[in-house]
Amino acid sequence: MEPKTYVEASVELERILRSEGQLAPQRAQEVQNLAVQLPLRELIALVERCNSVRAALLLRLLPRELSIAVFDALDFAQQADLIDELGNQDVFEYFDALEPEDRVSLLDELPAEIADRLLRSLDKPDRDITGVVLGYSKGSVGRRMSPEVPDLYPEMTAGEAMARLKETAADLETIYTLPIVRKDRRLVGVVSFREVFQAKDDALLGDLMKEAVYAMANADAEETARWFLPLDILALPVVDESQRLVGLLMWDDAIDIVEEADSEDSARSGGAEALQQPYMSTPLLKLVRSRIVWLLVLALSALLTVQVLSVFEDTLAAAVVLSLFIPLLTGTGGNTGNQAATTVTRALALGDIRKNDLGSVMWRELRVGMLLGAVLGGLGFVLASVVYGLSIGLVIGSTLFLVCSMSATVGGAMPLIAKAVGADPAVFSNPFISTFCDATGLIIYFLIAKTVLGL
């Protein structure tokens, strides 16, 4: 069991950090004493919950090695927020301690001028290796890869390779996945450290290596991370157009890439932009900004429903009872559409569906929608008939059936259409589909009502 004191220390520390305006010197000592009792993961969680002033304060009070480890584990956006609060000297040290590819991701979050100053603070070799990563475009594999690779050739023996690695390990991010290159740096294979370690000393790397699974440096980072992670390998060799080894995509960076993408998809499925930093440390106005644009776009497209309804105002006036079912019908349409869109968006993200599957996805969703509509429509028919009479029952039942069929098909198609035109599938997703289904559903509703009720 973890000792109770560490949980208590954490609660106490958070209380101090949250309550005080200014931190008195004796409090600083107390904070320090509490902080070093916490496991690393608890410290990281604590810093993630603080605004940047408090987080900077806490980082400064930690022993240097610990504060570097905490800083390293933060989201890039929060690191960027912290840069402003920390002294130059601290910042340079933290920056220097990051892996080259993590430095670049942090630079991407910073104003050009500060990014420049940070880059200039590195010594020449570090600046050069960071420059390799900076040379690739945002969103590419090259931008997220580790540029530190070993020099191993097929003619080397296992023993020579081990000796070489022992010398150079300090300059490498990993020694566990070993790409093998020819003299011209073209990738010819890959071998795991474990295999080299277990091989006879005089075994040739050329005989031990397997055909390499690899990625192109200019390939899409998210797509690559998605197929790479399930293969359970620790690092993926990255090559340029001439098949020359330029880096390794590390498993931990691949996880970051996937998590960023999932957070973005999740936010967009709720009709907002991703925060890219922990909720509690996000300033209030940043929360508002992440939501207001989509809310306005959605509200403006909802004016469509006002238009549709005003077209049918006479029908509504003639049978006020029809207005009672408006939220039920639009809600059900929206829900059916959302279910389909969420499923398809996730499947697209995971690579389970491809762009040219539009036809088969729509055909699947149409059938699913009809089945769902049959159940809901049947139920709606019975309930509405009992309470409001047979003709209203007929209107509600058939509207539900058609709305479900239509919404599922549209909801399933939308993410694929978005992808086809180069937009983020998650953007055209749930709330947008709700609004679309609302308007279309209302038209279906009133056309059926006019026909059945003879209005």
Neighbours of 434 (CB within 10 A): 25
Q: Which of 65, 140, 69, 56 is nearest to 101 (CA)?
A: 140
Per CB under 8 A, does 7 bind a second copy? Answer: no
Per CB under 8 A, does 444 bind a second copy? Answer: no
The alpha carbon torsion through 128, 131, 136, 137 (nearest 10 deg) reads: 180
Among 63, 270, 359, 378, binds a second copy (CB under 8 A): 270
Residues 223-242 as x/- pattern, contact with a second copy by CB under 8 A:
----xxxxxx-x------x-
Q: 111-148 burial, b if ≥16 CB within 10 A, otherwise e?
A: eeeebebbbebbeeebeebbebbbebeeebbbbbbbbb
Per CB under 8 A, does 389 bind a second copy? Answer: no
Nearer to a second copy, 111 or 288 (CB): 288
Per CB under 8 A, does 139 bind a second copy? Answer: no
Nearer to a second copy, 28 or 44 (CB): 44
Per CB under 8 A, does 298 bind a second copy? Answer: yes
Among 39, 63, 87, 389, binds a second copy (CB under 8 A): 39
Per CB under 8 A, does 266 bind a second copy? Answer: yes
Nearer to a second copy, 77 or 115 (CB): 77
Kindly indicate which of the ranges 130-138, 167-175, 179-187, 416-424 contains the residues binding a second copy, using the contact rule CB under 8 A: 167-175
Kindly indicate which of the ranges 30-38, 58-66, 178-186, 189-197 contains the residues binding a second copy, using the contact rule CB under 8 A: 189-197
Three-state DSSP class for 233? coil
Per CB under 8 A, does 291 bind a second copy? Answer: yes
Amino acid sitting at position 154: P
Minimum distance from residue 164 beta carbon to a second copy (Å): 12
Among 81, 101, 260, 265, binds a second copy (CB under 8 A): 265
Residues 206-225 as x/- pattern, contact with a second copy by CB under 8 A:
-------x--x---------
Q: What is the DSSP string of 290-338?
A: HHHHHHHHHHHHHHHHHHHHHHTHHHHHH-GGGGGGHHHHHHHHHHHHH
Kindly indicate which of the ranges 88-96, 144-152, 178-186, 369-377 contains the residues binding a second copy, using the contact rule CB under 8 A: 369-377
Amino acid sitting at position 261: A
Per CB under 8 A, does 368 bind a second copy? Answer: yes
Minimum distance from residue 91 beta carbon to a second copy (Å): 21
Neighbours of 380 (CB within 10 A): 24
Pairing of strands 215-216, 235-239: parallel
CA triple 374-447-300, angle to 5 deg: 95
| Rounded-to-integer distance, Cα 390 and Cα 399, Å | 14
Per CB under 8 A, does 198 bind a second copy? Answer: yes
Among 34, 276, 431, 436, binds a second copy (CB under 8 A): 431
